[in-house]
Each structure stands twice: as structure tokens, then as C-alpha cells.
């Protein structure tokens, strides 16, 4: 395992961080990065890799069965780390089709290809391969204020098309383990943040808008709660599962914090005030604008991470304040990346679709 690794979605936010993480941790691993380069993926996300000769980029669709099968055979892939997905809840509310296609059908195609090449053609013995599926805490649904945190045994109750498509893919992955003996693991992680996140998600969107003096949109009352994890910690958790995780198991991954959204946004504003005291937009919190809530907005997520801590000795290493400080500094030092990304990816169009007519609630 981990000699020849197929990373799907490696041009996106977490996938590109994972590629960089593996190249530092395990430079001899050969990485094949299969990514369609949708609006969320960019070649800009993996420029200047430490070990470019051990990274091959293939632009293609995970729904393309023959492409995937050929990659597994030709590259002698022994490990699949499956990130590729449509990942934004708001987009799943405006157009769910792509979520069903990529998240459900795409995962099915990858599982079928792995079953065929690994198990039927017996290219490898069963102990030397692994299909690791990246999933989310959103499959568990929403919590009331006093509910206990999600455990791996919490029944699935997804509420958005995004969450339902991820839940569906998790079920398929488990079914392939149970029915065909495919060696799988799954990690369900909370909200990630950090370098290279596309500025449609809360934290980079707030940073970008604050830098340009635009309103900072808070859905509803801003008291929705998420558990936030710095992306490098997520990569480290995946690495732990790949190396020490038990085949067939799922692991919850999270940052162990419970801030309401408004607290995240005010902390970013304070960090920007400190970094940029002469900005015309100081204090940045004056830009906060409450807008119409997301339909069906999950109120609270919380993760119980006892299993991964007790069994694999993993826990987050970057606390929220430090992670936000690093993230704000990264964006301030990568304005050129932001400029290219928002131009390249038809960003303005999405902003209009999602925010027009929503203000002033």
C-alpha cells in the first residue's frame, strides 16, 4: 500500500493540501492526481510541489469507467484516496444534478473499477490495497443545542442534496466491503479551512469580501454551529487512517470546537484589523451584513473523535485561533492566487446567483 496512490479531486482544496502533505511525509510515493478541473479545481493549487517527478496530473472524470480502470492497471495503483466531489451545500440547493452524478455515480464507478482490477483480475492480494473514501459530518444531519456529538454509530440523517449524496456514497463504499470484500476505510470530517480553499465557502469568502470592502454575508442569525478543522490536521488524520486504520472501519475527524458562525466572522475581522490597520475598511466588522438564511440550514454539527484518538492516536494539533491566524496570513500573502482563481473560475457569476436579492434581512 501507498506505493502508487490515485488521489481523486487532487486539484481541489483538501486534495491539493493532501498531495503536498504526502510529498513531505512520504516523498517516494507515486501520486496520480485525477481531477476534472470543475470550477472548484485549479492547476494553481499544486504549483511548486516538493517532488514534482512523483506527481502525475490527469484531467478526467471519475465517472469515466475505462479511464479509471486503465489508470488502476497502467499505474499499478494500490491505494485510492477519493476526494473528488461536488462539495458546496449552497450549490446543491441551486442545482443538485451534478452532486448526484459525481458524488454517487462517480463513487460507484471508482468502486466498480477497484473491484474489477483489484479483486477480479487479482492484480494485488487483498491486503495490499486500500480504497479510502473521504466523507463529511453532514451525513449525520443536524443537532439540537444539548444533543451529544456525532459518533461513528450515529444513524445517518442527511438534510441537503450535498449531504444526501455523500451519505449515499458512504453506503455504497460499505456495501462494496460487505458484498465483495473490497478493503475500504472511511473518514467523516467536519468543516475544513486553510490555504487554497475556494472563496465560496464561509472563511475564504469572508476574507476576500473584507479585503475588497464588500458586505460579509451572515445567513440567518449567525448562531449556527460548526466544528472547524485546519486542513493540514485533516490530511494528517487521513494519513493515520491509511497507515493504522482497521479495514472496514469509519473514523470521525474534527477540531473539537463549537463556535457560532458570527464568532468565526468577527475573529477574522479582528485578525484583518491587526494585519492591516491602515485599511479603509477598518474596523472590518462594520461590513457584517445579515442576509436571508440558507433553506433547511443545519443548526449544529459536533464531532466525537474518541475513536480515532483512542485507536489511532490522532488528535488535532492546530487550535482554531491559530488556524484562523495562519489562514488569514496565507490569503494576505497569496492575493495573486485569489486574483487568478476568481477570474479563472467564473466566480462572479456564482456570487450573483447565491447572494443577489438576499441582503437586508
Out of 35, 69, 86, 162, which one is annotated catalytic? Answer: 162
Q: Which of 34, 36, 77, 89 binds ligand TYD (CB under 6 A)?
A: 89
Q: Phi and psi for 241 in degrees, rounded to 5?
A: -65, -40
Q: Are strands 55-59 and 4-8 parallel, antiparallel or unpaired?
A: unpaired
Q: Which does 9 bind (CB under 5 to 8 A by kind): ligand NAD, ligand TYD, none?
A: ligand NAD
Q: Is residue 79 a contact residue for ligand NAD (CB under 6 A)?
A: no
Place of cell 496570513: 329
| Other CB atoms within 10 Å distance of the CB of residue 178 | 11
Out of 35, 61, 137, 236, which one is annotated catalytic? Answer: 137
Q: CB of residue 170 vs ligand NAD: minimum separation in angstroms? A: 10
Q: Is residue 300 a contact residue for ligand TYD (CB under 6 A)?
A: no
Q: At 171, list the grid cell.
A: 453506503
Which stretch of DSSP H or E encloses residue 161?
Answer: helix 161-180
d(CA 71, CA 249): 26
- Please indicate whether residue 138 is annotated as part of the active site: yes
Q: Is residue 205 a contact residue for ligand TYD (CB under 6 A)?
A: yes
Q: Is residue 134 a contact residue for ligand NAD (CB under 6 A)?
A: yes
d(CA 87, CA 106): 13
Q: How far is CA 152 from CA 149, 243, 247, 321, in A?
A: 10, 19, 15, 27
Q: Is residue 192 a contact residue for ligand TYD (CB under 6 A)?
A: no
- Please indicate whether residue 137 is annotated as part of the active site: yes
Are the C-beta atoms of residues 228 and 323 closer than 8 Å to each other? Answer: yes
Q: Which of 133, 226, 284, 300 binds ligand TYD (CB under 6 A)?
A: 226
Q: Which of 55, 133, 201, 284 binds ligand TYD (CB under 6 A)?
A: 201
Q: Between residues 84 and 216, which has the closer beta carbon with respect to ligand NAD?
A: 84
Q: Which does 63 bind (CB under 5 to 8 A by kind): ligand NAD, ligand TYD, none?
A: ligand NAD
Number of residues that bind ligand NAD (CB under 6 A): 30
Q: Is residue 20 a contact residue for ligand NAD (CB under 6 A)?
A: no
d(CA 57, CA 8): 10
DSSP of 82-146: E--S---HHHHHH--HHHIIIIIIIHHHHHHHHIIIIIIS-SS-GGG-EEEEEEEGGGG----TT
**End-to-end alpha-carbon separation of the chain, Å?**
53
Q: Which of 11, 202, 237, 305 binds ligand TYD (CB under 6 A)?
A: 202
Q: Between residues 193 and 281, which has the closer beta carbon with respect to ligand NAD?
A: 193
Q: Is residue 190 a contact residue for ligand TYD (CB under 6 A)?
A: no
Spell out, one character per residue from 125 to 154, where the chain touches ligand TYD: x when CB under 6 A holds, - when not: ------------------------------
Task: Report the interface residues with ligand TYD, using CB under 6 A.
Answer: 89, 191, 201-202, 205, 217-219, 224, 226, 261, 294
Which residues are catalytic, by number?
A: 137-138, 162
Amino acid at each position: 500500500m501507498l506505493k502508487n496512490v490515485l488521489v481523486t479531486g487532487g486539484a481541489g482544496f483538501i486534495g491539493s493540501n493532501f498531495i503536498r502533505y504526502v510529498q513531505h511525509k512520504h516523498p517516494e510515493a507515486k501520486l496520480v492526481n485525477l481531477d476534472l478541473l470543475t470550477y472548484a479545481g485549479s492547476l494553481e493549487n499544486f504549483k511548486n510541489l516538493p517532488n514534482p517527478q512523483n506527481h502525475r496530473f490527469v484531467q478526467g472524470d471519475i465517472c469515466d469507467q475505462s479511464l479509471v480502470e486503465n489508470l488502476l492497471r497502467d499505474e499499478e495503483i494500490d491505494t485510492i484516496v477519493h476526494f473528488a466531489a461536488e462539495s458546496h451545500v449552497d450549490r446543491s440547493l441551486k442545482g443538485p444534478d451534478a452532486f448526484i452524478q459525481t458524488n454517487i455515480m462517480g463513487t460507484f464507478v471508482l468502486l466498480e473499477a477497484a473491484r474489477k482490477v483489484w479483486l477480479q483480475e487479482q492484480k494485488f492480494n487483498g491486503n495490499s490495497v486500500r480504497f479510502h473514501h473521504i466523507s463529511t459530518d453532514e451525513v449525520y444531519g443536524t443537532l439540537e443545542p444539548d444533543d451529544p456529538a456525532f459518533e461513528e454509530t450515529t444513524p445517518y440523517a442527511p438534510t441537503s442534496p450535498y449531504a444526501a449524496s455523500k451519505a449515499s456514497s458512504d453506503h455504497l463504499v460499505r456495501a462494496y466491503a460487505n458484498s465483495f470484500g473490497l478493503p475500504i476505510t472511511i473518514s467523516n470530517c467536519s468543516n475544513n479551512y486553510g490555504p487554497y480553499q475556494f472563496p465560496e465557502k464561509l472563511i475564504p469568502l469572508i476574507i476576500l469580501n473584507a479585503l475588497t470592502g464588500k458586505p460579509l454575508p451572515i445567513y440567518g442569525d449567525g448562531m449556527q454551529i460548526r466544528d472547524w478543522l485546519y486542513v493540514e490536521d485533516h490530511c494528517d488524520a487521513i494519513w493515520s487512517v491509511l497507515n493504522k486504520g482497521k479495514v472496514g472501519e469509519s473514523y470521525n475527524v474534527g477540531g473539537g470546537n463549537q463556535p457560532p458562525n458570527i464568532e468565526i466572522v468577527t475573529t477574522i475581522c479582528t485578525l484583518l484589523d491587526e494585519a492591516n490597520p491602515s485599511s479603509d475598511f477598518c474596523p472590518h466588522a462594520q461590513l457584517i451584513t445579515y442576509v436571508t438564511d440558507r433553506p433547511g440550514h443545519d443548526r449544529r454539527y459536533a464531532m466525537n473523535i474518541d475513536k480515532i484518538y483512542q485507536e489511532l492516536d490522532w488528535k488535532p494539533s492546530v487550535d482554531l485561533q491559530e488556524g484562523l491566524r495562519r489562514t488569514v496570513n496565507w490569503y494576505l500573502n497569496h492575493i495573486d492566487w485569489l486574483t487568478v482563481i476568481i477570474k479563472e473560475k467564473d466566480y462572479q457569476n456564482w456570487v450573483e446567483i447565491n447572494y443577489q436579492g438576499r441582503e437586508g434581512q
